Homo-oligomer: A and B are copies of this chain.
Amino acid sequence: MNITFIGAGNVAWHLAQALDSAGHTVQQVYSRRLQSAVQLADQLYNAEPTQSLDFSRSKANVFFIAVPDQAIASLVTRLQLPVHAILVHTSGTLPIELLSAFENTGVFYPLQTFSKAKALQMQQVPFCIEASNPETEEVLVSLAQDISRTVYLVSSAERKVLHVAAVFACNFTNHLLSIAYQITLQENLEFSLLEPLIRETINKALAGENPASVQTGPAVRNDTSTMQSHLDYLSRSPAEKEIYQLISQNIQKVSREL
């Protein structure tokens, strides 16, 4: 396929290169900042950087929008595409309907976190695909399967649910790790001491059962004296103390229901 990327951030960076390497041709890379478009185009076999959203004469037949969520709606109103082109966005949150001014649309959502500076195995990334019609779906699934082993058809409603789950499992988990980091730092302890325990916790939680069935710690064993001693320690950090209380309560609630 001939492909155009609209956006040159972290997602475009990895996706454009993966598709290019899989034998497709990225024709153009658009960015508001020419320098970003040039930087990504330089990584591709035959791509031109551009600052124009008029693609009416483009040779591309699939257009990937990979810009921040809040920028998509206004960008779409300024976009000009060749007739019958497929337009997809790569957002985990936004519905396919956002693109409904066009005929053949879809969502091409990689369920992974990307940084330009960090290589990753695209084959391991689950892709969530949605399309406005069966012909488009076929094209998008085939493109996704060219770069990944795990491709799923996921509706906009399901994708939203996955995103909520990912916020808990990833964004919030990262925040808990940052609290742990802060606590060890304050006492001149090495955060890396916790690394084996963190990795083992994740391994157990991902072993296939409900993670609630392998819950450990003072809350689930109703060890109130340890919890009280932890809350006393946290009294100088009210926000962390509140998180400690709320999650401990919920662990106990879930464990009673299990």
The answer to whether A216 and B113 touch (CB under 8 A), given A180-B169, A251-B171, is yes
Q: Does A215 contact B (CB under 8 A)?
A: yes
A-B contact pairs, 24 of them (CB 8 A): A111-B193, A112-B197, A113-B204, A113-B216, A160-B233, A161-B233, A165-B179, A166-B180, A169-B177, A169-B179, A170-B197, A171-B215, A171-B216, A171-B219, A172-B176, A172-B217, A172-B243, A173-B176, A173-B177, A174-B204, A178-B211, A181-B211, A239-B249, A242-B246
A215-226 Cβ-contact flags toward B at 8 Å (1 or 0): 111111101011
Given contacts A161-B189, A210-B178, contact A201 B170 (CB under 8 A): yes
Residue pair B112, A196 in contact (C-beta under 8 Å): yes
In the bound complex, residues from chain B placing their C-beta under 8 Å from that of A211 are: 174-175, 177-178, 181
Bound together, the chains give a CA A215 to CA B175 distance in angstroms of 7
Partner pick for A69 among B126, B154, B226, B234, CB 8 A cutoff: B226
Q: Is the CB of A164 within 8 A of B183?
A: yes
Residues A179 and B168 in contact in the complex (CB < 8 Å), given A160-B233, A250-B239 = yes
Q: In the complex, how many angstroms separate the beta carbon of A145 from the nearest chain B beta carbon?
A: 16
Q: A: which residues have CB within 8 A of B?
A: 68-70, 93, 111-113, 115, 118, 120, 124-126, 150, 152, 154, 158, 160-187, 189, 191-202, 204-206, 210-212, 214-221, 223, 225-226, 229-230, 233-234, 239-240, 242-244, 246-247, 249-251, 253-254
Chain B neighbourhood of A168, CB < 8 A: 176-177, 179-180, 183, 240, 243-244
Give the distance in Å from the alpha carbon of A212 to the alpha carbon of B172 in the complex: 11
3 closest A-B pairs by beta carbon, nearest first, are: A171-B217, A169-B180, A178-B212
A250 surroundings in chain B (CB, below 8 A): 175, 239-240, 243
| Residues in chain B near residue A196, CB distance under 8 A | 111-112, 124-126
Determine whether the beta carbon of B172 is less than 8 Å from that of A247.
Answer: yes
Closest to A148 in B: B196
Q: What chain B residues lie within 8 Å of A225 (beta carbons)?
A: 70
Q: Are A217 and B167 in contact (CB under 8 A)?
A: yes
Contacts of A169 in B (CB 8 A): 176-177, 179-180, 194, 197-198, 201
